[in-house]
A = this chain, B = another copy of it.
Amino acid sequence: MQETTPEPQQAQPEAGLRDRKKEAKRAAIIAAAQAEFIAHGFAEARLARVAAQAGVAKGTLYLYFDSKEALFDAVLRGALPLIFAPPAAPDPGTPPQLAFRRRLRAAIADMQASERDKLALIVLSESAQFPGLARIYLEAILEPLFGLVRDYARSSGVARLEPLTRYPQLLLAPMLAATMWNRLMTERPPLDLSEMLETHLTLVLGPPEGEPAGVTG
């Protein structure tokens, strides 16, 4: 019940006053909870810390979410809509491979800019506790990317890329690995995801076409 976001009523600027504050507080709680879940995982996350971080009392959390689990769910779902943001339509004249690379770069950059890469790791951590949600989440995150890969592998007409239609994971796995690596190896200089992506794409797809050399990011 509390999960239903109140429909925005742009026609009534007055009515929105309280609603806007509520929505702001809701967002503050989710942000605090996201940081807490990322930092400690579900089981070790403390609602007291979430409340303190969000600047509300402990009980206030329950005005917005029925339970710790519901809050966790909201944090994960809160990140979902981003993946559906329509990518900028490519220039009609762009060569297919370049268009593909650009969309992949954009997806990766977007995933890093948000915290979705860290959330994906949480999903993994908690998959034993929340199997259903994990599946939904990963599908929402990964399937669109897989679709990109499959489409390109098919339409490229390059025979040696055919296996990517069966294992689109192969092209994306390095991003996952690098994200995990950076999360774990905090003492070392972090891997440069963009450069690593370009390296991987060049290794698998060959050197970029129709693009000035060295311009990757």
Contacts and interface: CB of A to CB of B under 8 A. Distances in A.
Contacts of A163: 199, 202-203
A191 B43 CA distance: 29
Contacts of A43: 41-44
A160 interface: yes
Contact of A44 (B124, B128, B196, B204): B128
A73 B176 CA distance: 25
A68 interface: no
A52 interface: no
B172 A177 contact: yes
Interface stretch (A11-19, A57-65, A82-90, A178-186): A178-186
Nearest to A139: B185
B129 A41 contact: yes
Interface in A154-168: 160-161, 163-164, 166-167
Contacts of A67: none
B169 A135 contact: no
B180 A196 contact: no
Query: Which 10 residue pairs spanning A and B have beta carbons closest together?
Result: A43-B43, A173-B177, A125-B125, A173-B173, A173-B174, A163-B199, A169-B177, A127-B184, A170-B174, A170-B200
Contact of A199 (B38, B167, B185): B167
Please indicate which of the listed interface residues A42, A173, A185, A200 has the most CB atoms of chain B within 10 Å of its own CB: A173
A185 to B, nearest CB: 6
Nearest to A205: B203
A69 interface: no
A41 B125 contact: yes
A43 B121 CA distance: 16
A124 B161 CA distance: 31
Nearest to A132: B187
A95 interface: no
